Amino acid sequence: MSKIINMLVGGALLAAIPVSTTNADGIDPGDVTDMLHAVMDSDRTIYTKMIVGRLVAEHKLITATENFEDDISAPLPAQMFRMGAEAVADRTDLFEYSLQSLWPINKPNAENQTELEKEGLAFVADNIGENFYGEEVIDDLKYFTAVYADVAVAEVCATCHNEHKDSPRTDFKVGDVMGGVVIRIPLDG
Amino acid sequence: MIKRNHLLWFLWTLLSVVGITVIMGFVFFGGPRHLLLIGKTTAAHGQIELACESCHTTGLVDNLTKSPKKLAAAMTKACGTCHLEELSAANDSHPTKKFRGAKKAKTRAQLNAFYCQTCHAEHVPEITRPMAVSLPQDLCVACHSKIGEERESHVGLEFTTCASAGCHNYHDNSALYEAFLVKHGHGEDFLPHAIQEFAAESRSPSIIRTALAKEDPVFALKTYLNEKQIKTDDESNEPLNAETKAKLSSQAQEMLDLVLYAKDVIAPAKYLDEDAVHAWETSAHAASGLNCASCHAPELKDSMDLVALEENWTEKPSLQVCSDCHQDQATTFTQGKHGMRFHPELAAPRVVEADGPMSVAATFFKDAPLGPITVGESARKDLMKPDAHDMQIGSCNTCHKPHEVNLEVASVEACTTCHNDDHTQNYFNSTHFELWQLELAGEGAPGSGVTCADCHMPKVEAKEGFFTSHNQNDFLRPNEKMIRPVCMSCHGLGFSIDALADPKLVESNFNGRPSKHIESIDWALKREE
């Protein structure tokens, strides 16, 4: 008898636990990329301001350089971002992201930009404060692609890009859109 | 007549099936497996090409059912088993991950370097070039086609010259990247006080032996340890406190207590060779408190039972025994051509389940480990001494004289026992050899002479101090890998790049000066102006 009571109580408890927190249609991919970007952008901004801006530029306690391993220095914010993207790609192929620009320092990186990506980069540069969303097919797979403006949040962002010998643009100021974060989610599973 | 024909056909089919099964079983399990090769592999892989599953990690079922992408990924993963660590240490300029994801689709369409075998196909000797590259030499054009538009210095350069002119490598550019060229671009050809730092430390007299020769060995050793500690704490520049001094004093005493002498030797009488005991007594092994059994009967290393020791005695200790203490050396040994047949990740001999269909064949034809390679099996045996062809390479004592206190033999003589190419022969007429002779004669400082091992098996940084890399091939693929750990101890970067890019100069063992100048440093410095 006690077993039957236990089963009934257990069954009632299990039934009370929600099966899923999502609605029947799932989460809108635009909301997902917005959430992902919020995390990326916050981390990136804090690294740029608190490490590079504060410890490198302001207090000159450490340096941040492109060849950070040989120089025993801190990675540049863009490198920190790229390493994060690579670490994510090591763990999952449910989404991917990268930093892109219409004025790239690393030219081969921009060789891969799709037409939609270029359109998005131009859009976020021309429409301050707005994001770009679209869908595209790459290698027979359908992707939801979002582009978010990458803004020069600190003086070091602008000066570093302006002074880099491979930079095709040398008039960036704080607050300027320097490129974009591109996030892709495969829609075909 | 018809019945007789049927019977003959049946017998013919049956015998054919049995015959083919026996032949395939024989070939597959320990027979002449090379008959199954679709083409010879590259020189290094040739040593292990019959341990097929080392690279072909997917089984027959996977090969028939998995997608080509998954099979290619599995093969790339297998490459990484042996090569990933080396690539990572070199800060690989083109790791496979650079080519993954949707964002790299365009690049992959040109050059799918997400998989190692895109550039390094195997079993195709007819199209394989140096560094085991099986693609045409202009492969860089796939991604860098616009470099001529971006860099004035690169206008009109052929893409076949990117990696062949001494400027770039696909994977290892640790001594060739632009900022490094700029930083070291003004170096002189010959540094004024040319000393290989780690070699100097390695070849300096033993601190324990030096201390023992003093009136107060504990004080002498403590003084040395004090100086070393102060040097380590260089940045603080503060004198050591009393507690640290007492600790060092106790450490010195402990080190000296470990030292063993001829009177302490423990070995069965038949092995007590006078020369061996004398050599051992003056060795680092005796100075570290290691008696004979530590190597010759490691299971009984603390035993005084001479009968038991004799029963368990191994005259020539194996690589495994040495590796218990010399782990870094042993690991790197199995990564180079001398020891790669002992790489721990190499596929084990094939076994078959007792109830499997091939069990009958497996009963008769058993697979065996590859075992050590002989010099005569080398892909370049034409460059080896004929009388060394029967020599097996696969244990430490092939090159190291047992019990020998110094490493002179292993540094030059051991190499020339087998190697007979022009570069090796010309070493004995080279400045490097001259400096080595001066060092041996005590006229040159420790670390000022240059041996074969100094260049090909450099001493590299470890977690604690340094160790001698025993992967002599690592620093030859490509030879610019020697620049940082070797050449730049004594030479400027520009001279090193020029010298290594001159095949004739390499062949002559650097007797003379580079015949051509590589302009990469000039171009890098010009961009700085």
pLDDT, position B242: 75
Query: What is the least distance, in Å, from the CA of B143 to any CA of chain A?
Result: 6
Q: How far is B105 from chain A (nearest CA, A)?
A: 7
HSE-CB at A42 with a 13 A cutoff on CA atoms is 6
- Smallest CA–CA separation between A61 and chain B, in Å? 16
B272 pLDDT more than 90: no
Residue A136, H or E segment: strand A132-138
Is residue B357 a part of any domain in this protein?
A: no
Tell if the CB–CB gap between A108 and B101 is shorter than 8 Å.
no
Q: Specify if B85 maps to a domain.
A: yes
Residue A1 pLDDT: 45
Residues in chain B closer than 8 A to A104 (CB atoms) = none
CB A186 to CB B101 under 8 A?
no
Lowest-confidence segment of A62-66, B216-220, B352-356 by average pLDDT: B352-356
Q: Pick from B102, B143, B528: which is nearest to A143 by CB?
A: B102
* Mean pLDDT computed over B274-284: 87
Task: Kindly tell me if the per-residue pLDDT of A7 is higher than 70.
Answer: no
Q: What is the pLDDT of residues B82-102, one digit of tens each?
A: 999 999 989 999 999 999 999
Residue B150 covered by a domain: yes
In the predicted structure, residue A76 carries a pLDDT above the cut 50: yes
Domains of chain A: 26-186 (3.30.450)
CB contact under 8 A, A143 and B179: no
Chain A residues in contact with B107 (beta carbon < 8 A): 108, 111-112
pLDDT of B321 > 70? The answer is yes
- Asked whether residue B357 carries a pLDDT value surpassing 70, the answer given is no
Q: Give the containing element (helix H, strand E) for A89.
A: helix A77-91
Q: Using one digit for the tens of pLDDT, what is the confidence trace for A28-45?
A: 999 999 999 999 999 999
Instruction: Count CB atoms within 10 A of the CB of residue B129.
Output: 11
At residue B231, the pLDDT reads: 64
Residue B442 is encoded by which pair of tokens?
A: 């005590």
Residue B148 inside a domain? The answer is yes
Interchain CB distance below 8 Å, B106 and A112: yes
pLDDT at site A18: 41
Q: Compare CB distances from A89 to B101, B107, B177 and report the shortest one's residue.
A: B101
User: B102 vs chain A: nearest CA distance in angstroms?
Assistant: 6
Interchain proximity A67–B103, CB inside 8 Å: no
What is the nearest CA distance from A66 to chain B, expressed in angstroms?
9
Q: Is the pLDDT of residue B513 over 60?
A: yes
Which pLDDT score, from 0 to 100, does residue A111 have?
84
Question: Tens digit of pLDDT for each residue in A124-162?
Answer: 999 999 999 999 999 899 999 999 999 998 888 899 899
Interface of A with B (CB under 8 A): 66-67, 69-70, 86, 89-90, 93, 96, 98, 107-108, 111-112, 114, 138-139, 141, 143, 165-166, 182, 184, 186
Min distance A124 CA to chain B CA atoms (Å)? 19
Please check the confidence at residue A8 and state whether its pLDDT lies above 70.
no
For the stretch B1-27, what's the b/e string if a residue is b when 16 or more beta carbons lie within 10 angstroms of its beta carbon?
eeeeeeeeeeeeeeeeeeeeeeeebbb
C-alpha triplet A98, A102, A107: angle, nearest 5°:
75
Confidence category of residue A82, pLDDT binned at 50, 70, 90:
very high
Asked if B144's CB is within 8 angstroms of A89's CB, the reply is no
How many domains would you assign to chain B?
1
Cβ contact B103–A184 (<8 Å): yes
B202 occurs within a structural domain: no
Amino acid at B508: S
Q: What is the DSSP string of B432-448?
A: HHHHHHHHHTTSS-TT-
Chain B CB contacts of A143 below 8 Å: 102
Q: Do B105 and A93 touch (CB under 8 A)?
A: no
Does B102 contact A66 at a Cβ distance shorter than 8 Å?
Answer: no
Taking an 8 Å cut-off on Cβ atoms, the answer to whether B144 and A182 are in contact is no
Statement: residue B55 has pLDDT above 90: yes
Rounded to whole angstroms, how far apart are CA atoms A164 and A181? 20
Cβ(A144)–Cβ(A33) below 8 Å: yes
User: Over the stretch B365-401, which tens digit does the pLDDT of each residue have?
Assistant: 778 888 999 999 998 999 999 999 999 988 898 898 7
Q: 3-state DSSP call for residue B174? A: coil
CB atoms under 10 Å from CB of A140, counted, come to 6
| Contact indicator for A179, A102 with CB cutoff of 8 Å | yes
Alpha-carbon radius of gyration of chain B: 28
Task: Judge: B107–A112 Cβ closer than 8 Å, yes or no.
Answer: yes
In whole angstroms, give the CA distance from residue B516 to residue B502: 7
Q: Which of A102-111, A134-143, B218-227 has the highest mean pLDDT?
A: A134-143
Helices (H), B29-104: 60-65, 68-89
Whether residue B438 lies inside any domain: the answer is: no
Burial class (CB in 10 A: 0-12, 13-18, 19+), B420: middle
Distance CA B124, CA B121 (A): 7
Could you report the per-residue pLDDT of B419-471, keeping only the tens digit for each? 999 999 999 999 999 999 999 999 999 999 999 999 999 999 888 889 999 99
pLDDT of B213 higher than 70: yes
Host H or E run for residue B24: helix B2-28
If one compares B225 and B516, the residue with the highest pLDDT of the two is B516
Yes or no, beta carbons of A86 and B97 under 8 Å apart: yes
Which of chain B's residues have a Cβ under 8 Å away from the Cβ of A166? Answer: 150
Q: Each residue of B24-46: pLDDT tens digit?
A: 777 777 778 888 888 999 988 99
As a whole-number percent, the residues of chain B with pLDDT over 70 amount to 95
Residues in chain A within 8 Å Cβ distance of B143? 108, 111
pLDDT confidence of residue B279 = 87
Which domain, by its residues, includes B148?
37-173
Q: Which residue has the higher pLDDT, A49 or A19?
A: A49
CA–CA separation, B435 and B437 (whole Å): 5
Q: Give the pLDDT of residue A5.
A: 52
Provide the pLDDT confidence category of residue B341 given band limits of 50, 70 and 90: very high
- Ranges B158-162, B220-224, B476-480, most confident: B158-162
Inter-chain residue contact B102 with A111, CB threshold 8 Å? no
Interchain proximity A138–B105, CB inside 8 Å: yes
Q: How far is B97 from chain A (nearest CA, A)?
A: 7
Distance CA B529, CA B514 (A): 27
Residue from B103, B150, B525 to probe the interface with A (highest A Cβ count within 10 Å): B103
If interface means Cβ-Cβ distance under 8 Å, which residues of chain B face chain A? 91, 97, 100-107, 143-144, 146, 150, 174, 177, 179-180, 527-528
Tell me the residue type at A144: F
For residue B123, the distance in angstroms to the closest alpha carbon of chain A comes to 30
Cβ-defined contact of A139 to B101 (cutoff 8 Å): no
**Mean pLDDT computed over B306-325:** 89
* C-alpha distances in Å from residue A27, one per residue of A21, A22, B67, B191, B406: 10, 7, 31, 65, 70
> Tens digit of pLDDT for each residue in B98-144?
999 998 998 899 999 999 999 999 999 999 998 999 999 999 998 89
* Cβ contacts of B297 within 8 Å, gap of 6 or more: B303, B309, B312, B313, B314
DSSP 8-state class, residue B130: G
pLDDT for A17: 42
Say whether the peptide bond before residue B478 is cis (omega within 30 degrees of 0).
yes
Nearest C-alpha in A relative to B484: A70
Name the band, by pLDDT with cuts 50, 70 and 90, for residue A186: very high
Of B97, B144, B174, the CB nearest to A108: B144
Q: How confident is the model at residue B162 (pLDDT cuts 50, 70, 90)?
A: very high
Do residue B102 and residue A67 have CB atoms under 8 angstroms apart? no
CB pairs under 8 A between A and B: 47
pLDDT at B362 (0 to 100): 65
Tokens 């038991």, residue located: B308
Note whether residue B223 is domain-resident.
Answer: no
pLDDT digits (tens, 9 = 90+) for B481-499: 999 999 999 999 999 999 9
Give me chain B's average pLDDT, please. Answer: 89
Q: Is residue B138 part of a domain?
A: yes
Q: Which of A33, A66, A68, A70 to mutate to test the interface with B (most CBs of B within 10 A)?
A: A70
Q: Which of A66, A69, A96 sits opposite B102 (nearest CB)?
A: A96
